[in-house]
Chain A
Amino acid sequence: MADLPSWRTIDHACIVSQPGNASEYLTGDWRSRRPVLDREKCVRCGRCWMFCPEPAIIVDEGGEYSFDYRYCKGCGICARECPYDAIDLVEECEDGQE
């Protein structure tokens, strides 16, 4: 927290004067479980993209799906909603490895 503003410099009344700055807040470190996609099972239906409450599902130009782990909170909605069971949730380890 040392790089966060002190009470002397923090915004007056918590007013946010710069629109759209929520994207600066990376919520990925909230995650305790990480979604992993099985590309064999994925039919690219886009259901995970529709249900993800964060902009954490990425679709590339070729229509392939992946996760943006900077924002993914590991809520597991994508895994629950996937009609082909193509998404698994695996425990995050302390060193960030699966």
Chain B
Amino acid sequence: MGRNRVSLEICEACAEAVKLADVDVIAAYPITPQTHIVETLSAMVADGILDAEYINVESEHSAMSCCIGSSAAGARSFTATAAQGLALMSEMLFIASGLRLPIVMALVTRTLSAPLSIWGDHSDVMSVRDCGWITVFAENGQEVFDFTLQGFRIAEDERVLFPFMVCLDGFHLSHVIEPVELISEEEARDFLPIYRPRYRLHPNEPISMGCFAMPEYFMEIKKRQDEELKASYDVIIEVWEEWEKRFGRSYAPLVTYQTEDAEAIILIAGSYAGTARLAVDDMRKKGLKVGLASLKLWRPFPLRDIREILGRTEVVVVVDRALSVGGAGGPMACEVRSAFHGESPSPKVVSFVAGLSGRDILRSDFEEMVQRALSHAEKGELPYYEMFGVRE
């Protein structure tokens, strides 16, 4: 293709995408493992490579508050965070969505304390599952770069106007150097037009945002938010199709591997889909009909894709990297079960919670989970969920 293929740390690839998006405001507070993104952006602004306001704030709550203010004024705004930082800004995440502000954020997924840990899992993103952001999971550096740029385009679309969160796994992605195909500034400008907000705070045309709503209005406003977040699905697909035409890389809410004849399908989000793909090859060599679905789109929840792709198989092995403490299963597994409730035929959904706080999930672990799931399904004994790889 003759494209500009370079080796980049994935945090830097994310920063490159933000630079190509020509953002107006970056408000950020450093936190491991996200720091390299905002550090790189800070250097770009200081060196005059990127013409943006870089606002050093005193907390993540302020970072998101800043982005809400700047986005409300019509500025293209970006921030990045992880784990405790996300928890601290969680109040403002709901507000950013409720105000329908197209902020883009990179979430470098990391485990929530306690115990204190800097390693990766999805406990942070799952804790804000209901905040009303479009949420995607990247599997590698290229996807981080692509999703970040696509994020601005999708978020700012008049038919969407929702904030957009790109999840990339802490360390397994953030700190890894990978080859990434960049696009040129001209291509980026062509793909991502100047943001023209439907509403913005401007002294010449005063409006109020974030108003109080009485109970007789509140539910209608939330219903509209819910319907429009679901409707953003079509725009996401449209932008992904355009991206493929322009740059040759295709995306889907669930990217599948060997699922056509699969009797069991592993469902996982994020970087471990790469390991799972190798595990599928191992199992296929042994004659096991196993496939993989790598979940890219988490919100809006791709209900139709889940039913179409996973509904064709006998057993779905959901591997969640988050624990709903005292709950009924991994967060993804619970929603997949919901998707099939009352459906017939319906696959047996087996929920595993694995890879918490950076614990490795090996190829052989995926095989063991599949074997255990098949055995559970055969016996008709389906535990709500199992924490995999825990010492007894």
Contact = CB atoms under 8 A, between A and B. Distances in A.
Interface residues of A, number: 15
A15 interface: yes
B223 to A, nearest CB: 4
Given A15-B208, A16-B208, A10 B224 contact: yes
Contact of A16 (B198, B207, B227): B207
Contacts of A6: 220
Nearest to A4: B216
Nearest to A19: B206
B216 A7 contact: no
A5 interface: yes
B197 to A, nearest CB: 11
> By CB atoms of chain B within 10 A, which of A5, A7, A14 has the most?
A14
Nearest to A11: B221
Interface in B201-232: 206-211, 213, 216-217, 219-221, 223-225, 227
B199 interface: yes
Contacts of A11: 221
B199 A5 contact: no
Contact of A12 (B100, B206, B208, B223): B100
Interface in A1-31: 1, 4-8, 10-17, 19
Contacts of B253: none
Nearest to B97: A13
Given A1-B216, A4-B216, A17-B199, A10 B221 contact: yes
Contact of B223 (A1, A7, A15, A19): A7
Contacts of A1: 216
> By CB atoms of chain A within 10 A, which of B161, B198, B224 has the most?
B224
Given A15-B199, A17-B199, A10 B217 contact: yes
A5 B220 contact: yes
Given A4-B217, A19-B206, A13 B223 contact: no
Contact of B99 (A7, A13, A16): A13
Contacts of A10: 217, 220-221, 224
A13 B216 CA distance: 15
Nearest to B205: A17
Interface of A: 1, 4-8, 10-17, 19
A-B CB proximity, top 4 nearest: A7-B223, A7-B220, A13-B100, A16-B208
24 contacts: A1-B216, A4-B217, A5-B220, A7-B219, A7-B223, A7-B227, A10-B220, A10-B221, A10-B224, A13-B98, A13-B100, A13-B161, A13-B209, A13-B221, A13-B225, A14-B98, A14-B210, A14-B211, A14-B217, A14-B221, A15-B199, A15-B207, A15-B208, A19-B207
Interface of B: 98-100, 161, 198-199, 206-211, 213, 216-217, 219-221, 223-225, 227
